[in-house]
């Protein structure tokens, strides 16, 4: 997919696009309905209230490095990319394993094995936005005079899902309502700026009708539903539509209500009014997010991979709007266009679709009991900063074939990785 029009095209801009995407999630997860029972909250609180189905977590055998190794290895192998073809490798992350060494350096053995050490890029760290920053840096490299024709890889990894779920010492402190406000308010600002640029570049009105799919960063799915409803509302306001609020029906809206000052009933109305278009434009990119929980830097980009799987060649010519949000605040609203590549290319949309197995892998995961999840959290806490230990769980044979895993942390905090046989 190519990055959409956003201004006068520099000479190399036609080379910029996403050729392939790969997603890794651990095989261990807990069902949200089991967590509701375990936590003693009313039934529906997590599954309907937050719109989530599963929560991925991993044991001490997996960390951001092993997940990055797995997904990077898989990306090259599945798409027939030789390590010598990679000239840029950038990792978007929220949770490195070292205060100095980048995650990118841990992935280098895969390229070094093929004699390739001439690889630009390090890590991008900024809450959930790191993956997007990495993608934009890779795109800028391909557009620049430094580009030598090789491929750029942005390897986003999934952070431990419980990092944000159970804040304790050393975990992020969260102001939930403020963070939700910031997410939605930032969407308002981004949409206004996006629409302005769109109209300047394309000399055509920017409306949601010009968009075929929308992908959102997803801390939880209910916020995605609300964000899409808000986008529809903003679109109506911007394009001189009538106030859809039952209380103010058909009054032209000069200024949208801010997210915190919506008249009673308006949000519910918007959710209902956008139900069908949400199903068509948004839902196809949300399955991994609902089944794994907040994937932080990888969240919105998992939607790209899922859209490739569900839509394939039909994506050609379609416009995908993508909202990346990271606390702090950093956000980008950008659009991508599905583009055909040379017939028979290893990166054709049809091939990407045929080679993708996200739904199969999600369905194959056996659900773990909440007690396993809590034990993994407790062990991660106990091992924070520890050295000279061998990892214990899960058993290597319970990892998916080909998965990289952490074997041990030695007495000098050096991490040793292995790979499960295929």
Ligand X SMILES: CC(C)(COP(=O)([O-])OP(=O)([O-])OC[C@H]1O[C@@H](n2cnc3c(N)ncnc32)[C@H](O)[C@@H]1OP(=O)([O-])[O-])[C@@H](O)C(=O)NCCC(=O)NCCSC(=O)C[C@@](C)(O)CC(=O)[O-]
- Which parts of 352-411 interact with ligand X (CB under 6 A)? none
CA 412, chain centre distance (Å): 33
296 touching ligand X, by CB under 6 A? yes
Contact 16, 359 (CB under 8 A): no
Window 145-174: contact mask with ligand X (x via CB under 6 A): -------------------x---------x
128 touching ligand X, by CB under 6 A? yes
Binding residue for ligand X, selected from 34, 63, 94, 235, defined by CB under 6 A: 94
- Which parts of 188-207 interact with ligand X (CB under 6 A)? none
Binding residue for ligand X, selected from 156, 294, 306, 356, defined by CB under 6 A: 294
For ligand X, the closer CB: 293 or 312:
293
User: Which span sits near ligand X by CB under 6 A: 14-22, 213-221, 285-293, 343-351?
Assistant: 213-221
Q: Specify whether 316 is catalytic.
A: no
Minimum CB–partner distance for residue 265 and ligand X (Å) = 12
290-304 burial, b at 16+ Cβ within 10 Å, e below that, comes to bbbbbbbbbbbbbbb
Which tokens hold the place of 134? Answer: 């990495």
Q: Specify whether 292 is catalytic.
A: no
Q: Which residue is nearest to ligand X (CB)?
A: 49
386-400 burial, b at 16+ Cβ within 10 Å, e below that, comes to eeeeebeebeeeebb
Binding residue for ligand X, selected from 95, 179, 277, 353, defined by CB under 6 A: 179
| Residue corresponding to tokens 């841990």 | 106
Task: Sort residue 115 into left (φ over 0), alpha (ψ -120 to 50) or beta.
Answer: left
27 touching ligand X, by CB under 6 A? no
Minimum CB–partner distance for residue 176 and ligand X (Å) = 2
Q: Specify whether 217 is catalytic.
A: yes
> Interior CA angle at 50 toward 329 and 56, to 5°?
85
- Catalytic one among 22, 36, 62, 94? 94
223 touching ligand X, by CB under 6 A? yes
Minimum CB–partner distance for residue 139 and ligand X (Å) = 21
Quote the CA–CA distance of 264 and 262 in Å, as a whole number: 6
Query: Which residues of this protein are in contact with ligand X, per CB under 6 A?
Result: 42, 44-45, 48-50, 94, 127-128, 164, 174, 176-177, 179-180, 183, 217, 219-220, 222-223, 294, 296, 325-327
Q: Which residues are catalytic?
A: 94, 128, 217
């Amino acid at each position: 997919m190519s990055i959409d029009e956003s201004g006068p095209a520099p000479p190399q801009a036609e080379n910029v696009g996403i050729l392939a995407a790969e997603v890794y999630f651990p095989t261990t997860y807990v069902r949200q309905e089991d967590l509701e029972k375990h936590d003693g909250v009313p039934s529906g609180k997590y599954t309907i209230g937050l719109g989530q189905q599963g929560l991925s977590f991993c044991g001490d055998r997996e960390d951001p490095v092993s997940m990055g190794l797995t997904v990077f290895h898989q990306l090259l192998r599945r798409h027939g990319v030789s390590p010598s073809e990679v000239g840029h490798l950038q990792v978007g992350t929220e949770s490195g394993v070292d205060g100095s060494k980048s995650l990118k350096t841990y992935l280098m053995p895969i390229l070094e094995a093929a004699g390739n050490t001439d690889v630009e890029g390090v890590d991008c760290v900024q809450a959930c936005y790191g993956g997007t920053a990495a993608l934009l840096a890779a795109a800028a490299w391909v557009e620049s005079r430094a580009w030598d024709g090789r491929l750029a890889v942005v390897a986003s990894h999934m952070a431990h899902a419980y990092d944000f779920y159970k804040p304790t010492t050393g975990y992020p402190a969260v102001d939930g309502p403020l963070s939700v406000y910031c997410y939605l308010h930032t969407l308002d600002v981004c949409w206004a700026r996006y629409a302005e640029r769109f109209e300047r570049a394309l000399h055509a009105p920017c409306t949601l009708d010009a968009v075929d799919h929308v992908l959102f960063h997803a801390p939880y799915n209910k916020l995605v539903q609300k964000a899409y409803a808000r986008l529809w509302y903003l679109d109506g306001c911007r394009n001189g539509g009538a106030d859809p609020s039952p209380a103010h029906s058909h009054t032209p809206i000069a200024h949208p209500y801010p997210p915190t000052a919506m008249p009673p009933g308006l949000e519910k109305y918007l959710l209902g009014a956008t139900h069908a278009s949400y199903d068509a434009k948004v839902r196809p990119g949300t399955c991994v997010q609902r089944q794994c929980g907040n994937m932080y830097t990888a969240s919105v980009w998992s939607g790209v991979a899922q859209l490739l799987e569900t839509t394939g060649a039909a994506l050609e010519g379609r416009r995908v709007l993508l909202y990346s949000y990271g606390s702090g605040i950093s956000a980008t609203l950008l659009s991508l266009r599905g583009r055909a590549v040379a017939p028979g290319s290893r990166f054709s949309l049809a091939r990407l679709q045929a080679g993708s197995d996200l739904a199969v892998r999600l369905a194959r995961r056996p659900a773990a009991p909440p007690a396993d999840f809590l034990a993994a959290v407790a062990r991660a806490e106990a091992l924070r900063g520890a050295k000279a230990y061998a990892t214990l769980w899960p058993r290597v044979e319970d990892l998916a074939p080909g998965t990289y895993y952490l074997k041990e942390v030695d007495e000098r905090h050096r991490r040793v990785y292995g790979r499960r046989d295929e």
